[in-house]
Chains A and B, each alone.
Chain A
Amino acid sequence: SYVLTQPPSVSVAPGQTARITCGGNNIGSKSVHWYQQKPGQAPVLVVYDDSDRPSGIPERFSGSNSGNTATLTISRVEAGDEADYYCQVWDSSSDHYVFGTGTKVTVL
């Protein structure tokens, strides 16, 4: 089965840039989506199809995808960005949806 690996945690100071990686075999050939989840809440889609933003999501959230790594970048980090972030793809070989292991972003 397809596996997506994320770092367990990322720490960043307010105003700085946070980068969250999502590793998978040839993930660059897949469409990657990113979700933000705050404690006690349902996930929220923040980036879809590698680098597009749903309406209402700040431009500070951006994404890229190439080779074996996809990256979610949060620019000018704010306290409100503190949350868990998950990458997700659809694995065509199994018709399964796959989530990454999740990354906790801490704003120092």
Chain B
Amino acid sequence: EVQLVESGGGLIQPGGSLRLSCAASGFTVSSNYMSWVRQAPGKGLEWVSVIYSGGSTYYADSVKGRFTISRDNSKNTLYLQMNSLRAEDTAVYYCARANKAVAYAFDIWGQGTMVTVSS
């Protein structure tokens, strides 16, 4: 079965760091474009970052310089390292696959992991 399972969320103080993981099954992370998308409580979807199959990475302006996307090919897992966290980073974080077969739309999503930044 093709699926994504996120983990690593939790309560963290402002200025702290957290690493999210997204374990994939049924397909190869390194062969796909993989993204993180977040949703603050009661708000809309916000794209956070992407890592392309070739390894290039891009970030939303709101997280650039603080967040790092990466992958471990041996574990077929995507990561999001989040540093210097702020209250406005509080959100459910989803990992998603942008599939070439559907014009690079996000066709597979994880269930999400909640990150709460608060003192």
Tell me the A residues contacting B by CB distance below 8 Å: 1, 31, 33, 35, 37, 42-45, 48-49, 52, 54, 84, 86, 88, 90, 94-102
Contact = CB atoms under 8 A, between A and B. Distances in A.
In the A-B complex, the 6 residue pairs with the smallest Cβ-Cβ separation, listed nearest first, are: A49-B103, A33-B105, A48-B105, A42-B109, A97-B47, A102-B44
A90 B102 contact: no
Q: What does DSSP make chain A's interface, helix, strand, loop or mixed?
A: strand
A94 B50 CA distance: 12
Interface string B68-108: 00000000000000000000000000100010001111110
B102 A52 contact: yes
Contacts, number: 63
Contact of B35 (A54, A97, A101, A102): A97
Contacts of A42: 94, 109-112
Contacts of B47: 96-99
Contact of B105 (A1, A37, A45, A94): A45
Contacts of B102: 33, 45, 48-49, 52, 54
